[in-house]
Amino acid sequence: MHEHKIEKHIKHDNNLILLGNPNVGKSVIFNLLTGRYVTVSNYPGTTVELTQGLCNINNKDISVIDTPGINNLIPQSEDERVSRDILLNTEIYNVIQVADAKNLRRALFISIQLAEASIPFILNINMIDEAVSRGISIETSVLSKILQVKVITTIATQKKGIKALISAIPGKNFSSIFINYSKEIEACLKKIIPLLPEMQVSKRYLGLLLLANDTSIYPILTAKMDTANLEKVKKLCTELQSSYSKPISYYINRQRLKKVNNILKQVFAQESKKKTLFLQN
């Protein structure tokens, strides 16, 4: 792979975003999609490096952005904030969420948040051979039906499943997953949502970030909404938090994990007996 160190990002109207937990094989997927020539640059105002390249989809060059590995879209680190900001500020052609087949629970926790944000995505379950060798089976057709997005399995290091993944990229699928939180959180969201600006993510997701005390989103909102409305939103969040003994993010994440575990019960199984996998290219 030949790298060019640059300061500015590739400018494209539509970007294919690679997203996922750390160590799921995103870089391998990225290299298979983009080929030899890539650019590496720091995300503005940070020391976080982004790798970008081009992928030809239906005879059109699409910019591909490989984001830092994350475990949550409520940022707990600079890497996670950068990945979240890219989703907020970048024109999205589609998102490929790369998952480790052995750690589907971690991946689905992110899938749930992409669904709540109304961001289109494909779930790419990578390293499927390692999962099968451990007796893990995943009902991908059932998972696809539950999420209402395309689910593609790959063994990226062997280039298996990559053609199917590329074929799945055109067209946007938005997950139908919805979580109903406590009556207090839902009541507060109803007050917050009308005050929020239009963005490419849902207002409900923005409201959940604010209730989870994600203060890193304030600079983005400050540039897009009336100051008085932002102050009203902050006040509503503070008032709701005062009625809870733990951070609201705890209750939000607990409900998300409950949904994830419910999905896993329907699609995930593990046997003690090891299996051999045969996967077409």
Domain range annotation of the chain:
2-177, 183-258
Q: What 3-state DSSP class applies to 112?
A: helix
**Is-contact 156 166, C-beta < 8 A?**
no
**pLDDT of amino acid 37:** 74
State the pLDDT at residue 175: 96
Residues 194, 204: Cα–Cα separation, whole Å: 10
pTM (global) more than 0.85: yes
Q: Say what the pLDDT of residue 276 is.
A: 55
Q: Which residue has the tokens 């300061």?
A: 7
Residue with tokens 């950068």: 82
The pLDDT score that the predictor gives to residue 58 is 86
Q: 2-177: which CATH topology?
A: Rossmann fold (3.40.50)
- Domain 2-177 and domain 183-258 have a common topology: no
Tokens of 4: 């060019």
Pairwise CA distance, residues 128 & 117, whole Å: 27
Write down the pLDDT at residue 13.
Answer: 61
CATH architecture of the domain with residue range 183-258: Orthogonal Bundle (1.10)
147 phi and psi angles, rounded to 5 deg: -80, -25
Q: How far apart are CA 75 and CA 87, in angstroms?
A: 12
CA–CA gap between residue 269 and residue 101 (Å, rounded): 12
20: β partners: 98
281 residues of the chain, pLDDT tens digit each: 444 333 344 445 689 999 999 999 999 999 999 987 789 889 988 989 899 999 988 888 899 999 999 999 999 899 999 999 999 988 999 999 999 999 999 999 999 999 999 999 999 999 999 999 999 999 999 999 999 999 999 999 999 999 999 999 998 999 989 999 999 999 999 999 999 999 989 999 999 999 999 999 999 999 999 999 999 999 999 999 999 999 999 999 999 999 999 999 999 998 865 555 555 55
Q: What is the pLDDT of residue 38?
A: 85
Packing angle of the helix pair 248-267, 140-147 (nearest 10 deg): 140
